[in-house]
Amino acid sequence: MILKALYDYYHRSQELARPGMEYRELAFLIVIDEQGNFVRLEDCRIDDKSCKSFLLPKAVSRSSSPVANICWDNCAYVLNYSEANLPLRNPPADPLKLAAKEEALKKEREKNWKNYTTFCNKVEELHGALPGNIPLMALHLFYGKGNEIILSALQKDPLWGELCKNLTRNISFRINGALTIIPEDKDVVNFYLDSLSVCHADRQTHTCLITGEEGPLVELTTATPILGSQATAKLVAFQVGSGYDSYGKEKAYNAPISREAEFAYTTALTHLLRKNSRNMFRVATRTYVFWASVASEVGLEAESCFFSLMNLQGNETDNPDRGVIQVEKVFKSIFSGEIKTQTNDCFFILGLAPNAARLAVVYWKEIPIKDFAENILRHFEDMEIVDYRMEKRPYKGVYSMLSAVALEGKVGDVQPNLPEAVIKSIFQYLPYPYSLYSACLRRIRAEQKLTQTRIALIKAYLNRQPNNYHKLTVMLDKSNNNVGYVCGRLFATLEYLQKKSYGIDSIRQRYLNAASTTPAAVFGNLLNLSVHHEEKLNSPSIIFFRKLKNEIIDLLLAEGFPTHLNIQDQGRFFVGYHHQMAEFYKASEKNEDIVE
């Protein structure tokens, strides 16, 4: 199902490379004239992390034997030059270690020469097949000068130092004055594609598991690496001789995929995983890609808004809630039918994690777009909580949710399986994971900070519990007589009373954790202290606070304060605290006196 969805995405997209080709970044171009003379180096870098992309013949699959790409590759293949050719930095003082280091560098230089020879042979093969092609003739003459002369010419270029800092990146060639690079030459591309057809003509044919049609099968699938994985990591791969083979089949023949289908799904996945992709987000070690089954308005809007939701990090400057408001507006339009959808319009999300030589699928879901919109709106509804912060920031995105329960807000430190559990809860409208809730309570107690996101998480978790008969509201609910909620309201009242009297809130630092777990042990003392705090207030304020305290205490059962709150009521304590504090600060924002 995953491969079929990726295959369909390739065929519904208009911007992906045609079969046999792919978009690749090139850091530098070697500009030569038609006689093969070096002219200059051309910098194709956009910034330190990205370069200009070109439509090139698809990269070859490599194992231990050197295999060259068509007129483009890394510096080891193109120039016989790598880090091993640079002066040794910080050589070991120990002679034995120094000798071992030099031996390793010698082996790498020998490997570079093999790679370089392979690349030169590929150039000669292309030149022999297309003798009248001017770019290939120039490339043939360029390599005919010898490696030493080539490197000597390049080292005089002002950009040579920059090239030496990017030796692992890909480079290629361009004829001086030409608008396209040599790998983009029409004759070169056509010859390459024709040779692919001939090469695969004698391949084993079988029914493709993706398309259901007969066709030549691939022996090795294309690598689609993610952050943290090996460069050769693949979605479909079988290790030979390690127990993965069955019925005498080896490699990709264990899962028969036609050449055309393999190209389609790997190209689609590579496109979704590209830099700055708006169909991808990362949480800790997990990489998630998502897409709609249709390229219509509803599909594109759903993709754009889901990207915004997953990546909300509270970094807006002019209007911090703009992203949230727009996401909610679009999903309401989809769910209400204002943006039209078809019954078979679906949304997909795929979660991947590094796993040795392969990619591990940690999450996969297919859901109708309308149901998807409904589930997102339910998430927004569950996470909605009164916000009395001066600077309101988004708090409903996955990034904000996970950072709220992580030490020092570092999302990379959350439990490994927590991100997909949270995404699954949002995507499929399931109860939020208990691990998210318990981590939230731990962070509140450890840091003494009841942030907006943490309170929203507690409310969302509790409201999705099947045994919760009195749902928590967005704002203060005076009819809620749950013992945890009531204790939270009372604690907020006593804290605010202290702050109005002395300008401090020390009872929160000293008693918050105890009050939220063992109320009977602390509230008697806190109520006695509040009597002394009232002495600093005027008579109307004293009457107000006494009236409010009695009103809240009357909601408790006859037994009084409980000796212990269960784990769910501990969460309700913090929500009640937040709601009551919001009432106090709402009056302050309006410059109203606290006295009613």
Q: What are the structure tokens assigned to 532, written together?
A: 């002394």
80 phi and psi angles, rounded to 5 deg: 55, 45
Contacts of 442 (CB under 8 A, 6+ apart): 405
Q: Chain-wide mean pLDDT for the chain?
A: 86
3-state secondary structure 21-57: EEEEEECEEEEECCCCCEEEEEECECCCCCEEEEEEE
Domain residue spans in the chain? 18-194, 202-272, 280-463, 483-589
Mean pLDDT of 433-442: 94
* Helix, strand, coil share of the chain (percent; to 5): 50, 15, 40
Neighbouring-strand partners of residue 31: 40, 174
Per-residue pLDDT band for 398 (boundaries 50, 70, 90) equals confident
60: DSSP letter: P
Is a pLDDT exceeding 80 seen at residue 388? no
- Average pLDDT, stretch 489-499? 90
**Residue ranges with strand state E in 324-452:** 346-355, 358-368
**What is the reported pLDDT for 126?**
93
Highest mean pLDDT among 77-91, 134-148, 516-530: 134-148
pLDDT digits (tens, 9 = 90+) for 270-299: 999 988 888 998 877 889 999 998 888 888
The residue-averaged pLDDT of 244-270 equals: 81
pLDDT tens-digit profile of 57-72? 988 877 778 999 999 9
Which has more confidence, 526 or 321?
Answer: 526
Q: Return the pLDDT at 240.
A: 65
- More confident site: 199 or 265: 265
pLDDT recorded at residue 594: 47
462 SS3 class: helix
Q: Is the dihedral of CA 161, 166, 167, 172 positive or negative?
A: negative
Within 10 Å of residue 65's Cβ, how many Cβ atoms? 7
pLDDT of residue 316: 44
The answer to whether the CB of 284 falls within 8 A of the CB of 419 is yes
* Rounded CA separation 437/446 (Å): 14
Long-range CB pairs of 242-246 (<8 Å, 24+ gap) are none
Q: At what angle do helices 539-553 and 483-502 cross, to 10 degrees?
A: 170
pLDDT at 366 over 80: yes
What token pair was written down for 418?
């927590």
Q: Are 160 and 57 in contact (CB under 8 A)?
A: no
Please give the backbone phi and psi of residue 270, each rounded to the nearest 5 degrees, phi first.
-60, -40
Q: What is the pLDDT of residue 315?
A: 46
Tokens linked to 25: 């970044």
CA distance 286 to 499: 44
Tell me the mean pLDDT in the region 149-156: 94
- Kindly state the percentage of the chain with pLDDT values over 90: 40
Rounded distance between C-alpha atoms, residue 309 and residue 324, angstroms: 7
- Cα–Cα distance between 302 and 306 in angstroms, integer? 6
* Cβ proximity of 492 and 577 under 8 Å: yes
Alpha helices in 469-558 (DSSP H): 483-502, 506-517, 519-534, 539-553
From the list 277, 429, 433, the residue with the least C-alpha distance to 367 is 429
State the Cα–Cα distance between residues 56 and 25, nearest whole angstrom: 9
Return the structure tokens found at 445.
Answer: 């107690």
Residues sharing a CB contact under 8 Å with residue 456, sequence separation 6 or more, in sequence order: 383, 384, 385, 395, 396
**pLDDT above 80 (res 136):** yes
Q: Which residues contact 162 (CB under 8 A, 6 or more apart)?
A: 28, 43
Give the model's pLDDT for residue 590.
54
Q: Quick one: pLDDT at residue 595?
A: 43
CA dihedral 70, 73, 79, 81 (to 10 degrees): -150
Distance CA 141, CA 143 (A): 6
Q: Are 228 and 285 in contact (CB under 8 A)?
A: yes
Q: Cα torsion at 303, 309, 315, 316 (round to 10°)?
A: 70
Q: What is the pLDDT of residues 157-208, one digit of tens each?
A: 999 999 999 999 999 999 999 999 999 999 999 988 888 765 555 567 788 8
DSSP for 84-115, please give it. Answer: GGSPPSS--SSHHHHHHHHHHHHHHHHHHHHH
- pLDDT, tens digit, 9 for 90 and up, residues 11-48: 988 788 888 888 899 999 999 999 999 999 999 999 88
**pLDDT number for residue 201:** 55
* Model confidence band, residue 318 (pLDDT cutoffs 50, 70, 90): very low
Task: Tell me if 176 sits within 8 A of 222, measured CB to CB.
Answer: no
Mean pLDDT computed over 449-471: 90
Higher pLDDT pick, 30 / 394: 30
Q: What is the mean pLDDT of residues 3-15?
A: 89
> Which structure tokens are listed for 202?
């004698």
514 contact partners, CB below 8 Å, separation of at least 6: 521, 522
Cα–Cα dist 176/323, whole Å = 47
CA atoms within 13 A on the CB side of 197: 6
Give pLDDT, residue 345. Answer: 87
Q: What's the CA angle centered on 63, arms 58 and 65, to 5 degrees?
A: 100
CA angle 477, 480, 485 (to 5 degrees): 95
**pLDDT above 70: residue 394:** no
In the chain, the amino acid numbered 481 is N
The pLDDT score that the predictor gives to residue 5 is 93
Determine the Cα–Cα distance for residues 185 and 191; give it in Å rounded to an integer: 10
Q: What's the per-residue H, E or C state across 206-246?
A: EECCCCCCEEEECCCCCCCCCCCCCCCCECCCCCCCCCCCC
Can you give the pLDDT at residue 71?
94
Q: Which residues 6+ apart lie within 8 Å of 513 measured at CB? A: 445, 448
For residue 587, what pLDDT is reported?
64
Placement of tokens 């079929």 in the chain: 4
- Residue 320 has a pLDDT of 44
